[in-house]
Amino acid sequence: MHNGYIVYLMRMIAEQGAIASLYCDPEEPESYQGAFIEQVNMRHAVIAAITPWGKLDGWWVRRTGDIQQALCGEEQELRLNFLLRFHNQRHLPLLPEGLPPDTDWMRAVLELAIRERRLVSLFTATETFTARPLQVDDLRVTVRALDLFGQPEPEDESFALRDIEALSIGTEEEAMYEILGENFPLMDG
């Protein structure tokens, strides 16, 4: 499918406030991400992730060009909707309403993470890591990556925003690193 059609379809799903199944990996056509689509433009989509077990698990910013298919109203989405209600899960948006549709969603979420001192996980073609964003501009983000135990690495790293394929915030991954970072030294010994 053409990227323009996927963006149009995702906008329609977002306007309905419906659950979508997003397929991003052409190598694994059965692999999908259940989500509420919060924002979408030709470059990025901000989505609230839903686990296959019907629990909200943070947000993702994905390049729209990486989304191969978006489905809505099928059995899988009905199942997720039932499980969300069963688990008393309530979707709340990550970003405030009223931002212009041409907003750079990757940058907007990184700015939010900096303001709120939140961790993010970054996915590039060659690396995946969790970090604390320190600074972002139109072209680059500077982060302090965390080690396996949630401790900050000694050096800051800088990445071009165009090299970030996806970003997650507020997921169990970042929560785990927060717990490790705050508590691991206390448990040492």
How does pLDDT run across 5-14, given as a tens digit for each residue?
Answer: 999 999 999 9
Structural domain count of the chain: 2
Q: Which tokens go with 101?
A: 């549709």
Q: Average of pLDDT values for 71-95?
A: 95
The enclosing H or E element of 183 equals helix 172-187
Q: Nearest 5°: CA angle at 162, between 178 and 38?
A: 60
Q: pLDDT > 90: what percent of the chain? A: 87
Strands (E), 29-95: 33-40, 44-50, 56-63, 69-72
Beta-bridge partners for 97: none
Residues 169, 17: Cα–Cα separation, whole Å: 20
Counts for the chain of helices (H) and strands (E), in that order: 4, 10
Same domain, 59 and 116: no
Q: Are residues 81 and 7 in the same domain?
A: yes
Same domain, 31 and 78: yes
Does 80 share its domain with 123?
A: no
Residues 116, 82, single domain; the answer is: no
Q: Tell me the residue range of the domain where 172 lies.
A: 105-187
